[in-house]
Structure 1
Amino acid sequence: MKAHEILHLRIIRDEFTSQTTVGKMYIDGQFFGYTLEDTVRAFGIKVKGHTALPAYQYQVKLSYSPKYERMMPLIFNQSDGSVNAMGIQFKGIRFHGGNRHTDTEGCILIAKHRVTKELIQGSLEKELSLRIAEAENQGKQIALEIING
């Protein structure tokens, strides 16, 4: 697949606390917003609802979320829409709005502003969903790379 047939999302995580991981998201190399996730844990360790996805390669697509009752970006690398990253299983991992790690259960929060290393504000979920929908309508795949900086 040619590079122009892929929308590239990249998250570079740059702040790590005992409960929170904060980073920056880029779309096709351009800064898009700030991310906030649960904490990054040691290789092979997962605490349900309190663990960030491992730094890895994923795909993203829009799909209906029964929990939120709307179309949302889903992060996956398995055909059933789940994630298997280095032997750790995740299901239903999405991008959505929120401010603190208590607003996420393994999902990635996306916002306009980083207030502190444990708080972001100004949801960019709708804007990200629009970018993904536009790419999907053009027949592009959406690739996500997560890097621990």
Structure 2
Amino acid sequence: MKLTLKRKFLGDKYTVGDLFIDGKFFCNTIEDKVRELPAACPYTPKGRSCKCKEKIYAETAIPVGIYAVTMEYSPRFKRKLPLLHNVPHFIGILIHSGTTATDSAGCVLVGKNTIKGKVTESRVTSDKLNAALSKEKHITIDIINGK
């Protein structure tokens, strides 16, 4: 299964995008601000957090790229959620519910972008996404900036 996240609004405080499953629109997303980060990060091996000066913790969106995704149990959310693997500069990146970029801490939030700077119906959307992904063994997400 292929997820595609097309970022369509790169703002000063948050980023809005559209999430597609196998080419079909699924929902909107909200993330932290996109910042230019070095291509590689020597500070995130073995689960250590990034100390690059360009990254602001809990205020920076993950870099564009293609990442493997698995459904993993989150102790914080107490349920299985999509986890992105080998994201430069980041550890523990999930796709989950929330309302604004301040809820994301680098993760991707799903829902409907019916209010400026927010997503609504996020928990319902997250549950639907989890149901769709839970049966899949090979999942990737391609994150791209653009219209």
TM-score bin (small chain): 0.7 to 0.9
C-alpha displacement of 1:134? 1.4
- What's the Cα RMSD here? 1.1
What is the TM-score when the length of structure 2 is the normalising length? 0.84
What is the TM-score when the length of structure 1 is the normalising length? 0.83
**Given the alignment of the two structures, is residue 54 of structure 1 paired with residue 48 of structure 2, yes or no?**
no
Counterparts of 1:35-114 in structure 2, within 5 Å, are: 35-44=29-38, 45-77=54-86, 83-84=87-88, 89-111=89-111, 113-114=112-113
Q: Is this contact kept in 1: 2:58–2:102, CA < 8 A?
A: no
How many equivalent residue pairs?
Answer: 129
Q: What amino acid is the match of 1:10?
A: T
**Given the alignment of the two structures, is residue 16 of structure 1 paired with residue 26 of structure 2, yes or no?**
no
C-alpha displacement of 1:43? 3.0
Gaps of 5+ in 1: 1-6, 78-82
Which protein has the bigger strand share?
Answer: 1
Q: What amino acid is the match of 1:108?
A: V
Identity %: 36
Q: What amino acid is the match of 1:72?
A: L
Q: 1:115 aligns to what SS in structure 2? A: strand
Q: After TM superposition, which residue ranges in structure 1, 4 or more long, deviate above 6 angstroms? A: none
